[in-house]
Chain A
Amino acid sequence: MAGSTQPDDAASALAEIGRRQAQVIDAVLVPVWYWWIVAGGMVGIGAAADSKQPAGIVVAALVIAALTVAMIVGAYQRVRVRDADLVGGPGALLIVGTVWLITGLTIGAAFGLRALGSPAPGTIATAGGGAALVVCGPRLMRRLRRIMMSRRAGVSA
């Protein structure tokens, strides 16, 4: 059968394989709207901290946590990607590094602004952090997609 398979057919089959594997990867990547909601939640936390309303911080944090858990559980019930194979060390480092960098810079900026006497250090810092999340989140997902596509089964065969 292999002998009778034409190069065009083989190329089509390889393209089909890539397309189907991309479907799995796309199904587990975080959608763009998620970053906007988390960014909004972050600003909510910052604003609540500035106005000394702990209930606001709790509500915003719960919204972010509930959304994140719902998304993970929803994706997990449909399909689970081969994390170790597809994401690997570089992908995991990229995710953790980006989250820590944005979180660290946001907290640092908030303390810095407060030291400078800003009237709303939390709001300003989290607005910056939220903007970074909205810009970097989708880019992170695109980068992760590239990593996962390059590490999927059969590519290095």
Chain B
Amino acid sequence: MTAARFNELIHAPTRLAIVSLLAASEWADFRFIRDELALSDSALSKQLTTLETAGYVEIRKGFVGKRPRTWAKLSRTGRRAFEQHVAALQEIVTRSGASVSVAAATAQGTPAPAD
């Protein structure tokens, strides 16, 4: 059972999207994250730097052939913070009594239906 802890840093929309992508990944290529989230290079770099500074993300640079590549992965601290944040969100929703529709929506990977 993960302790619920709301995380303001992760909750910001763009960072929430990045961390969610990384939570399902061992690691992800910079371009993959950029394309999936429709972000600019600079916007993604800025958010990754913020997450890296907080110790939530590890950045690795390297080459594939002659092409420079950047990979990102969620650190152990970042993963724990993410899971605690999800638990906090679930707690908020559960307290309001809307847990069933949200659980179903997130399990499908689709947005919760609007009321």
A residues sitting closer than 8 Å to B (CB atoms) are 1-2, 5-7, 10-25, 27, 77-83, 86, 148-150, 152-155, 157
Contacts and interface: CB of A to CB of B under 8 A. Distances in A.
B84 A157 contact: yes
Main secondary structure of the interface of B (DSSP, over half): helix
Contacts of B79: 153
Nearest to A152: B24
A4 to B, nearest CB: 10
Contacts of A15: 102, 105-106, 110-112
A80 to B, nearest CB: 4
Contact of B21 (A2, A11, A20, A80): A20
Contacts of B110: 15, 18-19, 22
Provide the main secondary structure of the chain A interface: helix
Contacts of A7: 92-93, 95-96, 98
A1 B17 contact: no
B90 A157 contact: yes
A149 B109 contact: yes
A50 B34 CA distance: 50
Given A10-B93, A11-B98, A149-B108, 14 more contacts: A11-B112, A14-B112, A15-B106, A16-B20, A18-B106, A21-B23, A25-B24, A149-B107, A150-B107, A153-B23, A154-B83, A154-B86, A155-B86, A157-B83
Given A18-B108, A155-B107, A80 B92 contact: no
16 contacts: A5-B11, A11-B105, A14-B102, A16-B16, A18-B108, A20-B36, A21-B24, A22-B109, A24-B21, A24-B24, A78-B28, A78-B32, A79-B29, A82-B25, A152-B24, A154-B23
Q: Please indicate which of the listed interface residues A5, A16, A27, A153 has the most CB atoms of chain B within 10 Å of its own CB.
A: A153
B59 interface: no
